[in-house]
Amino acid sequence: MKTRSFFAVLAATLALIANPASAETDDHDAPRWSIAIHGGAGTIARDQMTPEKEAEYEAALQAALDAGKKVLAEGGSAMDAVKAAVIPMEDSPLFNAGRGAVFTWEGRNELDASIMDGRDRSAGAVTGVTTIKNPILLADKVRTDSPHVFLMGEGAEEFASGQGLETAGPEWFETESRKRSLERMKAEELSALDVDLKFGTVGAVALDQDGNLAAGTSTGGMTGKRWGRIGDAPVIGAGTYADNRSCAVSATGWGEYFIRVGVAQEICTRLRFGRMIDFEALINTLSEVVSDEALAEDYDPSDLPAYFASEKVAQNAADNVMAEVKELGGDGGIILVTPNGHTVFSFNTSGMYRGRANSEGLNEVAVFGGAETGEPSATPDH
């Protein structure tokens, strides 16, 4: 292989893992704050969505986005912004989280949630709770007021009893549409995927004005789940992850596959590895085996920090991990925010309820995309 072509291939590889030592300071146009939200991904077809229902979903997404935006614009923390954005979606019967959660096989609503602070990687999670109106708040109490990370069922409820959180009876969480889904599943001997057109898990990720990241996720799981089934949403590293060194991610989808891939942490790890490499030392080493002429002709080392900090690299990492989920047979999507304020969506379904905003004036909510339209979907960039 010629020296030039060898280095071109090597340089392209290094570009994906290079250390952007000055990336955060070089990006002068980076937003002061950013936020992204999701309300589930799945088979969301335009011909099955009336204009009125689409407007209803968009309004609910915008309300959640506005709640998170307000916290960040006023100088609040990413953690508070994530909670502020998730709560309205937990309170809405449109989403499979809190009110509107799907039913288990036994006819109960069992709720899961997790939250993580990118500053110190403190995290809290709960699964199988039945009386907590806003499970995301209980997950945060586990993070701040317990020595543990993950609590389940009766133990989580017992812990919650001393935390001053609002509770609700079964009637708060039950909705007729979710009940009909369970009845249809049993009557027609269908799978959860046959009756759940989408994964209605909700989540938010945020970057605050102090440069801190946070992520949170909340769900009711899958219709007809049995035997204490737990999906990815409450699992730190699968459905939720935040690390100031790399990114914050919240996921929605077929949990069994997201757990196997470790989706949230896998994306953040891929981005963090680049920040761990001493790029100058690496280039000096390469220059000993590659001619200075080839180095100068093919590659400008000063370009790498900005490239690594770009939205393209974050999108690439997310798309490639989501492609792994698809290869295993799973589907769903993620939202991501980077330390530079880039917000990214990646999903391998026909749609994902989603929104994003930042301090530079970006504000958008959307439903369709992905496999249906050719918009952002999990297609790896080789």
Q: Annotated active-site positions, please?
A: 201
CB 100 within 8 A of CB 93: yes
CB 94 within 8 A of CB 100: yes
Within 13 A of 74's CA, how many CA atoms are on the CB side? Answer: 10
Round to whole Å and give the CA distance between 62 and 365: 7
Round to whole Å and give the CA distance between 73 and 59: 20
Distances (CA, A) of 126 to 103, 157, 230, 234: 17, 9, 10, 6
What secondary structure letter does DSSP report for 167? B
Helix extents (H) in the chain: 3-14, 23-26, 51-73, 78-90, 135-145, 153-160, 170-173, 176-187, 192-195, 255-261, 263-276, 279-287, 292-298, 303-308, 311-328
Tallying the residues shown for the chain, one arrives at 382
